[in-house]
Amino acid sequence: MNRTEAQTRSGLVDRLLAQSGWNIKDPMQVVEEFDILMSLPDGVEEARTPFLVDRIALRDQAQDAFKEHLPNESRWLK
């Protein structure tokens, strides 16, 4: 399944936010992108190598968070 970021946001993220009680039409609650423009402190340089991510641990952490906030979601009821 190859979805664009916009398709993922509208089909999954926005739906889950709405189910959690967020008003996705209210820009005070939800914005699509939020750029933070600031300089780095003296002596701190931008990372030159990508961060390593444990995909399994990240997946499990995300699932736990969704289970906590959406306990009645059909995919958790097995």
Q: What is the mean pLDDT of each run of 10 residues along the chain (78 residues)?
A: 80 87 88 74 70 78 82 66
Name the residue with tokens 């701190």. Answer: 44
Please tell me the predicted confidence (pLDDT) of residue 2. 82
DSSP single-letter state for residue 56: H
Please tell me the predicted confidence (pLDDT) of residue 23. 92
**C-alpha triplet 7, 77, 68: angle, nearest 5°:** 70
pTM value is 0.39
Burial of 66 (0-12, 13-18, 19+ CB in 10 A): middle
